[in-house]
Amino acid sequence: MLLKLIVLLFAYVSLDSASAATDKVFCYYETWNEGIFGPDDIDVNICTHINYAFMGINEDGSLRLDGSDSMLKRLSGLKSKNPDLKLILSVGGWNEGSTPFSNVAADADKKANMADSTLWYLQTYNFDGLDIDWEYPGQRGGTPADQENFIDMLWVLRGKFNDNGGYLLTTAVSNDPDAGAYNIGAISEVVDYINLMTYDFHGDAGGKTGQNSPLYASSTDSDWEKSHANCAAAVNNWLNRGAALDKIVLGLGFYGHGYTLADPNNHGVGAPTVGGGEGGSYDHICSLVDGWTEVWDDEQEVPYKYSGDQWIGFDNPRSIGLKVQFAKSRNLGGVMMWALDQDDKDGSCGTTLLQSVKDNL
């Protein structure tokens, strides 16, 4: 009887641990949209972490505040609503480029400056960690040495954080592990979470319609696309290259990509296109109703819509929910989204994307 009780208790604990594995919700917040979606609009009972996007990086390695001092203070004030909320400074992004990171990562003094500057911001504004969004090591002006230098930079930051009470260290990475000079096993060892940017899988340069963030592959995909250009494949590729399961955070796209169809009568997935078209944030896409037809893509488990020669691949509450369920089924560390402020905050189209995240966690 005692043995049976022990086995049952072990099973209970194991199941509880498994169900609690996917419990982090990293909400990237574009601070330049505060006039449309302000800090007070953020639901801090769903977001467990808020990522301030973006800090810049100076030539000497110190962080650069491109936004406002008041924004950092307003975000910090959200902890009064939820004391468990974690605030993260995200440095970099696409527009910052790769070269500034490459230069800093190659210089010991600049890396030390970066760590000192980061600590100052964290302590001054009551933030809880740093997110490195280097797009991408070894690419866009980077060098082959970025792979090793990136790891060293992360360890310099980790050492500074550990010596000062402990802060979170995360990194946002390409959905394709081959798209940057990544030592994935080493990254996984030093950071707390790896935010996979599992969106932008298809763009208008491809000459055909494609989903922004498909969960699974399409029968119209090339062999390479089937093994790379969807969320499930991206997760598998990162795990197979050495990423820790519980550190992977699945990215959710709160926006969509638009295309102009070559033939308005040919409007399926993979239809020929002649360039970009109307897309944008979810709150805009969901408002496109009159004259638009919305279709559910059974293969990729995401929707698309079209009107005339315009075609948009995007996510809605249903597809977001399925991705959260996928993350849970794989026991990933959590989910994140780019970007929170692109949601339909007032729910004018129905359930918001963020609410769908909560409903499916």
User: Which of these is catalytic: 34, 135, 225, 301?
Assistant: 135
Active site residue 294: no
Rounded distance, CA 85 to CA 49, Å? 6
Q: Which residues contact 243 (CB under 8 A, 6 or more apart)?
A: 184, 185, 187, 188, 194
Q: Are residues 153 and 160 in contact, defined by beta-carbon separation less than 8 angstroms?
A: no
Active site residues: 135
